[in-house]
Chain A
Amino acid sequence: MYNKLEYSSNNSNSQCSHNFNEKLGDYDKKFAVVNPTRMCQPMGAIQAMMGVKNAMPLIHGSQGCATYMRFQLIRHFREPIEVASTSLSEKTVIYGGEPNLLKALKNISEKQNPSMICVMSSCLTDTIGDDIAGIIEKFQDANIGIDLPEMVPISTPSYAGSHVEGYDKAILSLVEHFGIFSVPNSKINLIMGDLSPANVMEIKNLMNDLGCESIILTDTSKNLDAPLDEETLELHKYGTTMEELKDTPNSKATIALSKHVDSAGKYLECNFNVKSISGPLPVGIKNTDEFVNNICNVMGIDVPDSVERDRGRLKDVLVDAHAYNYRKKVAIYGDPDVVIAMARMVSEMGMLPEVLCVGVESPRFKEDVNELVNDINYQPVVLENKDLYDLEQVLSVNKVDLLIGNAYGASIAKKENIPLFRIGFPIFDRIGSQRISFLGYNGGIKFVDAITNMILDNYYDAEGYKIVEEEFSLDLVDEELS
């Protein structure tokens, strides 16, 4: 694949640990990340903040952190997005970022007056050792008697973990900061993870159908899919409220839809005895069943007819579509919970999850893969802590029919001449990324429709016949005759 130049300094290529899957192909990359499938912690935390009502996220770091993350979010959601920065410069890096953070807190409090300011650290400020919680306290002490916004510090150093941990930490910080044990309510806390507004909406609708009240952490459904309206330019008018955050320790249970974002659930379980359930992401029949059953068990209710009916409609579309999708091979990349849930969904559709690629390393993902392999009796190629370069190499050896992931896979899809079904973040080359949904039975129906039509577009002709490339031949008969 490349000239195998021997570098004296490049020690022991041979003991590279690529042996976990023999279908991996012949390439070797273990140091650099090329075309990443993950982002950094502050990005995940910001996405969580986007679903909180009247909150102002503030990144304590260089201007570029806030600006480039906003850039990615804006081009994905196609909505104006506000993230403030403490605009650190050389001087502040030497003498500490405290003066800038103090000024930022003052300016935001005075000019925007949000309900809360969520201060995220960056790699820079965590390295120089700025004590954000301490600085916030100092600011509050200096302004006693003045009505200030709530201030929540969130430690999100970019060099640890990924956006997934960032989201997790943000929710944990919110719950830790606001949660007050008082009168029990009859709600369920739902931690979403980094999912589209439409997916959040699917879950809200499902909860509505189940007749069950919930606290959504966090609810981006209206903020990031807003009408053409001037109000959108102000602080978010919708989303999870401070009162809801305060109420989280009084709920009946916490369900983290994504397993990787269950720290707040664990915290509430340890401290307030709120039952915590982690995953799986309700995609497809099995996972959604588990989700619905969890809720019904917690609430002591039966599955209502309307939900049963939607489930029946999902089964119906699976059957309607099965002939087109049978044994089509799929490669999926993205966040661990989405990838594994998607893998299960496509196997429910009769397809084969051929390659699974996640940018993070996670024991839970490993467990999930093992469980999936046992259930579907098919071994996918699993790329853990890998990037799109790795995926591209693997796909050049293991051919698939369909790619599922964010917009960055477009060039791989083009190279392999296969369609890309866009889910995840970011999607900047299509419109409507905020309206992509696949959660719950209803989301599943939309997903099966869309995927199957994509398969039909690419692998069937206008009349609906399968496009067959090889010519029909009678080799065998000829042999027998001669």
Chain B
Amino acid sequence: MEQENSSTEPIIKTFKSREKHMCIKRGNLSLPECDTPGIPGTVTQRTCVFGGARIVLMPITDALHLVHGPIGCASCTWDIRGSKSSDSKLYKQGCSSDLKEKDIIFGGERKLYDSIIELHKLHDPGAIFVYATCVSGVIGDDIKSVCNEAERITSCRVIPVQSEGFQDHNKTKGHWIGCDALIDSVIGTSEMGVEDATPFDINILGEFNVAGDLWGIKPLLEYLGLNIISAITGDSKVEEIAKSHHAKLNIVQCQKSSNYLAKKMEKKYGIPSLKVNFFGIESTITSITEIVEFFDHEEMKIKANNLIENGLKNLDEKLREYKQRLNGKTVALYVGGNKAWSLVRAFEELGMNVIMSGTKNGIKEDYENIRDVVKEGTLIVDDANSTELMRLLKKYKPNLLISGAKEKYIALKLGVSFCDFNHDRISAFAGFKGFLEFAKEVDAAVSTSVWNIVKTELRQKSIKEDIHV
């Protein structure tokens, strides 16, 4: 018998203090408690502030990313972003100043300086981002002044990122620190020629080109006549971001990581911003429509209609097969942030039901976003550790879990289908064509015949019943 979720009964067995971090949506007041420090001793799915800053900046393709810390911080995190590049592959290098015992005692500034100079000589990058780590913070290395000095000598942008891992329990702060590095040291440092400027210059914020998503969005926007100065930061170059302050509009795809940057750019350069979402048909159409409304340009309106018409042409027919198989299947989302709300509608368009949505690093604003899009009765979860996630999956038995690499095998071992929508995603999902890919991928995870065979048993089961958690 399933446990009923009355207000007194916790959703799953867990720490007392964690019970309020899960709630069932019943009206507008349903928000889980969030943004609290992790409980020591649990297997957290969260990461550190350094990780947060690094994932925002890592997709800048012609930059080097130098981690000022012991080797581990670099060797566990290099080239894990899954962001694609159409040109430079420099960002895939894993660089470390490799702090050793001696440097911890005497300070690592000299070694950092030498490393920066050396890397500049070897690679001549568009910029060098220098990340502070826990240890470099604790020993008090002044990476800012080292960066300034190195920048003076090399005349290459050398940008300090104050991302000491321990700064906060929530990597959202890391996203902000990454954005701060851009707003302080990159954006506005290059000018765009007058002849290059158009009335339709825009930036795409919070699009990291994971699996090539940007390349699904870019053609749509260019067809409308928009001039994309930079994508921040997917498949971008430092020079492009440096000129991004000339844009007339910022569109924000990943609101979790980049709304902060949009707000800062609005304050500093007066650039308005628009939240967009290119995951799903309806969201893509709404996004296009809103962008066109912003520019209020007749020709663009006609083009937008063409674009939408063309995008929808035959799409239903192509989707029919997948929808048939996926109809009525249930989905649980447990992601870093943005996708917890931006994907809900897309799943509904496939005929699937989102029964749980959660994030690892959500802040109140994020849960409001989730609450606004999910149906009544949906479970909203904050920062579930691995045991909690296992219990949730066992209790709610969704047909599909959408999450990242760390959660993958928890789901699979329980017989729950899984799609990686994080760094290890294999196809691009954005835009109309992306939606078809999305349907294919979801179908491949849910409908594979593998699930039939793995449910069979060799030995006759004893009278032992399947007991719920």
Q: A32-B95, A89-B168 are in contact. Are A159 and B74 (CB under 8 A)?
A: no
Q: How distant is the Cα of A444 from the Cα of B375 in the complex, in angstroms?
A: 58
Q: A40-B70, A63-B169, A67-B48 are in contact. Are A32 and B40 (CB under 8 A)?
A: no
Task: Indicate whether A100 reaches chain B with its CB closer than 8 angstroms.
Answer: yes
Q: How distant is the Cα of A122 from the Cα of B96 in the complex, in angstroms?
A: 17
What 1/0 mask marks residues of chain A from 384 to 398 whose CB sits below 8 Å from any chain B CB?
Answer: 000001000000000
A3, A32, A72 — which one has the most chain B CB atoms within 10 A of its CB? A32
Query: For residue B98, which residues in chain A have a CB less than 8 angstroms away from its CB?
Result: 32-33, 36
Q: Is the CB of B167 within 8 A of A90?
A: yes
Task: Indicate whether A232 reaches chain B with its CB closer than 8 angstroms.
Answer: yes
Q: Is the CB of B70 within 8 A of A128?
A: no
Query: For residue B135, which residues in chain A have a CB less than 8 angstroms away from its CB?
Result: 123-124, 127, 158-159
Q: Is the CB of A32 within 8 A of B115?
A: yes
Task: Indicate whether A43 reaches chain B with its CB closer than 8 angstroms.
Answer: yes
Query: For residue A34, which residues in chain B have a CB less than 8 angstroms away from its CB?
Result: 93-96, 119, 122
Q: Is the CB of B41 within 8 A of A33?
A: no
Least CB distance, B386 to chain A, in whole angstroms: 6
Query: For residue B41, which residues in chain A have a CB less than 8 angstroms away from its CB?
Result: 58, 84-86, 103-108, 111
What bracket does the count of chain A residues touching chain B fall in? Answer: 35 or more
Task: Indicate whether A143 reaches chain B with its CB closer than 8 angstroms.
Answer: no
Task: Indicate whether A101 reaches chain B with its CB closer than 8 angstroms.
Answer: yes
Q: How distant is the Cα of A90 from the Cα of B117 in the complex, in angstroms?
A: 31
| Complex partner residue of B38 from A2, A71, A85, A158, CB under 8 angstroms | A85
Q: A32-B119, A82-B386 are in contact. Are A64 and B47 (CB under 8 A)?
A: yes
Q: How distant is the Cα of A78 from the Cα of B37 in the complex, in angstroms?
A: 29
Q: Is the CB of B71 within 8 A of A2?
A: no
Task: Indicate whether A233 reaches chain B with its CB closer than 8 angstroms.
Answer: yes
Task: Indicate whether B405 reaches chain A with its CB closer than 8 angstroms.
Answer: yes
| Complex partner residue of A63 from B44, B77, B111, CB under 8 angstroms | B44
Task: Indicate whether A18 reaches chain B with its CB closer than 8 angstroms.
Answer: no
Query: For residue A68, which residues in chain B have a CB less than 8 angstroms away from its CB?
Result: 47, 51, 76-77
Task: Indicate whether B66 reaches chain A with its CB closer than 8 angstroms.
Answer: yes
Query: For residue B73, which residues in chain A have a CB less than 8 angstroms away from its CB?
Result: 40, 64, 158
Query: For residue B80, which residues in chain A have a CB less than 8 angstroms away from its CB?
Result: 71
Query: For residue B77, which residues in chain A have a CB less than 8 angstroms away from its CB?
Result: 68
Q: A34-B119, A100-B40, A123-B134 are in contact. Are A71 and B405 (CB under 8 A)?
A: yes
Q: How distant is the Cα of A31 from the Cα of B4 in the complex, in angstroms?
A: 61
What 1/0 mask marks residues of chain B from 134 to 177 whose CB sits below 8 Å from any chain A CB?
Answer: 11001100000000000001100000000001111100000000
Task: Indicate whether B197 reaches chain A with its CB closer than 8 angstroms.
Answer: no
Task: Indicate whether B20 reaches chain A with its CB closer than 8 angstroms.
Answer: no
Q: Is the CB of A67 within 8 A of B40?
A: no
Task: Indicate whether A39 reaches chain B with its CB closer than 8 angstroms.
Answer: yes
Q: How distant is the Cα of A253 from the Cα of B193 in the complex, in angstroms?
A: 76
Q: Is the CB of A42 within 8 A of B114?
A: no
Task: Indicate whether B75 reaches chain A with its CB closer than 8 angstroms.
Answer: yes
Query: For residue B312, which residues in chain A have a CB less than 8 angstroms away from its CB?
Result: none
Q: Is the CB of A38 within 8 A of B414?
A: no
Q: How distant is the Cα of A42 from the Cα of B73 in the complex, in angstroms?
A: 11
Q: A7-B153, A33-B98, A90-B167 are in contact. Are A232 and B413 (CB under 8 A)?
A: yes
Q: A70-B406, A233-B414 are in contact. Are A33 and B74 (CB under 8 A)?
A: yes
Q: Which B residues from 319 to 360 make CB contacts under 8 A with A?
A: none
Task: Indicate whether A19 reaches chain B with its CB closer than 8 angstroms.
Answer: no
Task: Indicate whether A449 reaches chain B with its CB closer than 8 angstroms.
Answer: no
Task: Indicate whether A321 reaches chain B with its CB closer than 8 angstroms.
Answer: no
B42, B46, B76 — which one has the most chain A CB atoms within 10 A of its CB? B76
Q: Which B residues from 71 to 90 make CB contacts under 8 A with A?
A: 71-80, 89
Query: Which residue in chain A gives the minimum CB-CB distance to B118?
Result: A31
What 1/0 mask marks residues of chain A from 57 to 80 whose CB sits below 8 Å from any chain B CB?
Answer: 010011111111111101100111
Q: Which A residues from 232 to 275 make CB contacts under 8 A with B?
A: 232-233
Least CB distance, B413 to chain A, in whole angstroms: 5
Task: Indicate whether B43 reaches chain A with its CB closer than 8 angstroms.
Answer: yes
Least CB distance, B192 to chain A, in whole angstroms: 28
Q: Is the CB of B44 within 8 A of A67?
A: yes
Q: Which B residues from 266 to 295 make CB contacts under 8 A with A?
A: none
Query: For residue A2, which residues in chain B have a CB less than 8 angstroms away from its CB?
Result: 121-122, 124
Q: Is the CB of B51 within 8 A of A82?
A: no
Task: Indicate whether B181 reaches chain A with its CB closer than 8 angstroms.
Answer: no
| Complex partner residue of A158 from B72, B93, B124, CB under 8 angstroms | B72
Q: How distant is the Cα of A160 from the Cα of B105 in the complex, in angstroms?
A: 12
Task: Indicate whether B433 reaches chain A with its CB closer than 8 angstroms.
Answer: no
Q: Is the CB of A35 within 8 A of B94?
A: yes
Query: Which residue in chain A gives the minimum CB-CB distance to B94?
Result: A35
Least CB distance, B394 to chain A, in whole angstroms: 8
Query: For residue A138, which residues in chain B have a CB less than 8 angstroms away from its CB?
Result: none
Query: For residue B45, which residues in chain A have a CB less than 8 angstroms away from its CB?
Result: 67
| Complex partner residue of B43 from A31, A32, A82, CB under 8 angstroms | A82
Query: For residue A127, which residues in chain B have a CB less than 8 angstroms away from its CB?
Result: 104, 135, 138-139
B114, B135, B412 — which one has the most chain A CB atoms within 10 A of its CB? B135
Query: For residue B118, which residues in chain A have a CB less than 8 angstroms away from its CB?
Result: 10, 29-32
| Complex partner residue of A33 from B96, B113, B406, CB under 8 angstroms | B96
Query: For residue B166, which residues in chain A have a CB less than 8 angstroms away from its CB?
Result: 62, 88-90, 92-93, 124
Task: Indicate whether A230 reaches chain B with its CB closer than 8 angstroms.
Answer: yes
Task: Indicate whether B245 reaches chain A with its CB closer than 8 angstroms.
Answer: no
Q: Is the CB of A62 within 8 A of B134?
A: yes
Least CB distance, B347 to chain A, in whole angstroms: 25
Q: Is the CB of B95 within 8 A of A61?
A: no
Q: Which B residues from 367 to 421 make CB contacts under 8 A with A?
A: 386-387, 390, 394, 405-406, 408-410, 412-415
Q: Is the CB of B169 within 8 A of A89?
A: yes
B50, B113, B121, B394 — which one has the most chain A CB atoms within 10 A of its CB? B121
Task: Indicate whether A214 reaches chain B with its CB closer than 8 angstroms.
Answer: no
Query: For residue A74, which residues in chain B have a CB less than 8 angstroms away from its CB?
Result: 405-406, 408-409
Task: Indicate whether A87 reaches chain B with its CB closer than 8 angstroms.
Answer: yes
Task: Indicate whether B256 reaches chain A with its CB closer than 8 angstroms.
Answer: no
Q: How distant is the Cα of A29 from the Cα of B113 in the complex, in angstroms?
A: 14
Least CB distance, B269 to chain A, in whole angstroms: 31
Task: Indicate whether A455 reaches chain B with its CB closer than 8 angstroms.
Answer: no
Q: Is the CB of A38 within 8 A of B71?
A: yes
Q: CB within 8 Å of B: which residues of A? A: 2-5, 7, 9-10, 27, 29-36, 38-43, 58, 61-72, 74-75, 78-80, 82-90, 92-93, 100-101, 103-108, 111-112, 122-124, 127-128, 157-160, 162, 228-230, 232-233, 389, 408, 411
5 tightest Cβ-Cβ pairs between the two chains A and B: A64-B48, A40-B72, A104-B41, A107-B41, A104-B40
17 new A-B contacts, CB < 8 A, other than A34-B93, A90-B167, are: A10-B114, A10-B117, A31-B118, A34-B95, A62-B165, A64-B51, A67-B44, A74-B406, A83-B43, A87-B44, A89-B168, A90-B168, A112-B387, A122-B134, A228-B413, A232-B413, A233-B414
Could you show 24 A-B contacts with beta carbons less than 8 Å apart?
A10-B114, A31-B115, A33-B98, A34-B94, A34-B96, A34-B119, A36-B74, A36-B94, A36-B98, A40-B73, A63-B44, A63-B48, A67-B44, A74-B406, A79-B409, A84-B42, A85-B38, A89-B37, A93-B138, A111-B387, A123-B99, A124-B134, A124-B165, A230-B414
Q: CB within 8 Å of A: which residues of B? A: 15, 37-51, 66, 69-80, 89, 92-101, 103-104, 111, 113-119, 121-122, 124, 134-135, 138-139, 153-154, 165-169, 386-387, 390, 394, 405-406, 408-410, 412-415, 424, 454
